[in-house]
Amino acid sequence: MGIEVGGPLGLILLVLDVWAIVKTVNSRASTGAKVLWVVLILLLPLLGFLLWLFLGPRGT
């Protein structure tokens, strides 16, 4: 029913999501914004990453 990403694409998405979470935690955004972005990335890996890429907080 859901979209499954496996194999090499799943691994690439996992690495990109971890990178996005690390960059978000190290950003100057407020704690609430950081938590919101991390939850969004964890719940919706592909869409969350794409939204973070274009709209997310920037690093230090």
Tens of pLDDT along 3-59?
A: 677 888 889 999 999 999 999 999 999 999 999 999 999 999 999 999 999 999 875
Asked if 49 and 16 count as a contact pair (C-beta separation under 8 A), the reply is yes
> What is the model's pTM?
0.86
**Residue matched to tokens 């991390």:** 38
| 60 closest CA partner among 28, 17, 36 | 28
Residue 60 pLDDT: 56
Retrieve residue 22's tokens: 């690390």
Residue 6 pLDDT: 80
Residue 5 pLDDT: 73
